[in-house]
Structure 1
Amino acid sequence: MIKKWTARLLAVALVASALTVVSIAADDPRPASAASGADFDPGNIISDANFYAAGSMTLDNVQSFLNQQVPSCRASSGPACLKSYTMDTFTRQDSGARCGTYPGGPGQSAAAVIYNVAQICGISPKVLLVLLEKEQGIVTSSAPTAYMYRSATGYGCPDTAACDAQYYGFFNQVYGAALQFKRYAATPTSWSYQAGRTNNIFYHPNASCGTKPVYIQNQATASLYIYTPYTPNAAALANMYGTGDSCSAYGNRNFFRIYTDWFGSTTGGGSPYGYVDTAAAGFRQVTVSGWAVDPDSAAPIRVDFYVDGRGAASTVAGNDYPSLAGVLGKGNTAHGFSANITGLSAGRHSVCSYAINVGTGVNTLLDCREFVVRTGDPFGYVDSVSASAGSLTVKGWVVDPDTADPITARVTVDGRQVSSQIASGEVPGLPAVYPGWGTRHAFESTVTGVSGGSHRVCVQGVNVGAGSTVDVACQTVVMASGAPSLFLDEVSMGSPGKLLVRGWAIDPDTVDPVRVHVYVDGALSTKVTADVSKASLATAFPGYGDKHAFSVPVAGLSAGTHSVCVYAINVGAGGNAVRCAEVAAPTGSPRLFLDQAQGTALGQITVRGWSFDPDVVDPVRVHLYLDGRLVTKVTADVAKASLGTSFPGYGEKHAFTATLTGVGPGAHTLCTYAINVGGGGNTVDCRTVSAVTGSPSMLLDEVSSPSAGAVLARGWTIDPDTVDPLRVHVYVDGVLQTKVTADVVKSSLGTAFPAFGPRHQFSASVAGLAAGQHSVCLYSINVGAGANTVVCSPVTVR
């Protein structure tokens, strides 16, 4: 977004003032220096280190700075001065994850808004203060207007249109500007001005004023140009606190000038900055963590800690702090610190953390935090209370603030002590929350003999030192009692005469498996113990284990519907649990499926498939009819493994294969009948099946030379597309010698191919051949589909 250009000048020169920075030694205000046009570098208006130094000011620093700019506000009917301005804000999350979550709340001060936005977006509070001043002069105004607050940072105010109303308001303006700077940095190549290259930057909105080639050296400078897209000309720089000429633009000049006046060099080093994340009190100690960096050095710096105004500890901020990568670069994140300050007395304390300066600048007070070193009553936590038949298991931890040693944990039920033990088990995560006490404070206690019903279970930490023995946590626990829980997972008859009953049963009064009785049609059929493992039961019923399932097979049932009742036999209070279900034995017509039904050879059709009758496990009979005529009967008793899987209880021996012979040419009606047993009727599958078609079949019985100069060829040939005799052509050495018809009777053909008859034999003689080796080829002339069939044989002629 490009904000609206402004040529507004301050009516009077800004009076330079310093931000007081507290050091360990004493207050050491940094003197401000008047900005000079000779120092303005258009390619490096401000360094990245200074621009993104979110920790360069604390909230107190920001408020103090605002107080100094306007010691007293001029009475008016308008808004309060910025130092006194408050507003209600709301929690806000950037959908693009450029900034963190803003902590909204009622009556937040302007200083709090500036500071909070700086922290969540990683932008220096100094930059936001300078931006507010160079846009509206609101920081130094003793009588700000509503417009100044409405468009405080010029965000959403383009050169070519009025400001966008959706961005009105001080909070929206500060947050929107900081978020926009983060967008620029996150997608640096998406904008017209980019760091690391020469950019032609306009002097003025009036294009006739020309441009200046500027090599932008860093992202912070690029971001300022994207936000305010003009560079000051020589006239503007020659009069840093006044006006230039008609081609002068002042936005980025004023940013440089105000920052220099208020905070010193925009590109040089300065005082260290950082942030205190936590000050966690523990056993006679406090652990302080955060990060600190000095702009004059990439090396880790020292951080000193004062407790109640007295020096207490010192450390080097050299720990890896990954989130600094977005501000300082991926290779410059070793600036985290964590210091453990021990030997503290009980009570309230204050710890102040100072970043020790390197080079120019002064030591920086990062933050002061109040904390309380505990004393008095023990404290702790109950992680879980699990109940099973007559017993309770309580797990948790207890700590006494006056000792790091394990203390005694007592468990009471309804006010009566039932167990006592030293809580010395491991709690690995405890030191992270309660430093100094160590990890040996866990306990686990199992109490037996607890009656059914509601009970108040409490854990006491036995006091050491100051304080008294107290309940650290209590829970109300209901102990189960009464009749067993019973559930049937399956009641089915998957095959004739066989019943399967599966389920589980648990009696709340015992962890042992219970007895289960199965009744069929009112008569006791079997008794079992529900002791089969089922993992989910241990999860659903903690303390009872997983061995409470059962699986009961019942054989020998007749066809029809049966009533099945399952009883879980009660132990202790309550009575037996019962669940009943009706189940029908499978019955009906056979199932039949054909895997294959087709012509497979001359005069043959092959049929393969499977069939079983739900009323029996035995193989069924299968009858095959061709063109309305029964041609064969088979038994479906061939093994097929997938049937045993698909139809458990029936086994795998229900497949069949049948070969039908004597099948003539053309299409035929094939009907396959599965013969019914019991309820239902026969199952039939009828379909049209075509006989084999194609080229003739031919076999040579003899090729010989019975006399000088003669050859005799005998054999037979049948075309699957006709029952008529075929023509046969005889070639010798590639020359046609004779043609005959294969119409001689051969009785075996009538037997082998009854549909075609016996008249398919031939005998052919060729005379007048020269003595010696010859090749004899016989061609069976095709009818219908296919092609001629040729069979050749060598022969030696006498």
Structure 2
Amino acid sequence: MSTISARVRRAMTLTAAGLLAAASISTAAHAETAGPSSAAADGSTSSAAPSTPAPGTASPTSASPAPTSATATTATPTAEASPSTSTATSSSKPAPSTSAPNSQAPTSSAAAPTSEAKATSAAGNNPEGYLGAWSANDGLIYFTGYAFDRDDFSQKVTTFYTLDGTVVAYQIAQLRSQELDPYGLPSVGVFGAVQAPTAGQHQICMFGGNIGPGQSGIISCFNVYVAQKDPRGDIMVDTPENQIRINGWLLDDSNPQQSLGLWIFDNGRPIAYFVSNAASPYLYPYGVFGNHAFGYMYSPSTSGSHQICVLGANIGFGQNAWIECADVTVDTAASDPWGVMYLSAEDPDSNGLTDFFVYGVAWDPNVTWPVRVGLFLDGQLMPIDYPDWIADLDYSDLNPPGITGKHGYDLWIGEEGYELAAGNHEVCLYVYNQGPGTGQLVQCEYFTV
């Protein structure tokens, strides 16, 4: 019997075309040829899985075109241990029964095959075994099982794997398989994973490279559904003092412990990006730990209706997803600053040039402290090194009804260094915003020097 290295080299000459040809063995051909003992069942629970080719059934001949070694080594999954039996997805697992051979040759207690099976058996045995598969949150399809060839139990079967008809991996069946320990075959197991290209239904098949006089062929197929794991969550939007506040949480089931990034949109325009990494103890009773909460508040630039939407950033096998949208209405004008302005013509520096004093009051309904003001002279913002840009003087006699406190300002236009040219001029009062709302150009006046 050839060595393992020779068998592997022989198996590597199989091409993807050869594997797919083996997969096309018809069910009818299988029905016409009696199979071996119950250990030859394919073990698939899927009605869509092709039947295991029986010994003697036609398979790709040696004339099949040989593949390159690169095809055989694509995406080889590895593992150090097989998952527990509670993870297996199939209840029908062909294993050598009491009629199964030991590690060298069939025992005397083996069940007697039919005359057809004897004729087939004289030509050798095909590889047989079991395949189970399942998907996880990471978009991988995990597989487990075992494969052996009755012609020589001392050699390890090389198994190839197709996903939706395309060869994606190969592996030598040499891991321990506890289910076969009682039969003297402890190291014929396989375990690995292949990446699903998309979410949805996929079929993974195990193909066994023959040892001895039998034929290579499909051992088993398994249908697996791969779920798409997009971000999910919940948001709440309200408008305290005509500001927009968004609170909520989001997570990605691909990694429930990881905090996600998110975008906030206002009427289709992105206005913020950050990570939802605040504590979220209200998710603990549902088995979701880590930090997944977020909160954000801002002052919109316009009054009216605002549609607020949150887009979650994907981290696993899925895509970015809209978490939720909410419509709110705000009146920013109610939160805008305001003021009044008066002009007084004087010549305080006695230079023979007429100067002007601009005075009045300015306030913001969102705060009780003084606000900053600015003056536009002939369309240009005056330099801010003026000492009286803060409206903190006691001009309470100028306060409108309902406004209390110190909100006065008194600014000099035309002082030394800022003399006004003769002619017509325009001065406008601008009040800077505090809190919700926007800064306002509240009043303009014309004067002549």
TM-score between the two structures when normalised by the length of structure 2: 0.36
User: Larger Cα Rg: Structure 1 or Structure 2?
Assistant: 1
Q: Structure with the greater relative contact order (CA < 8 A, sep ≥ 6): 1 or 2?
A: 2
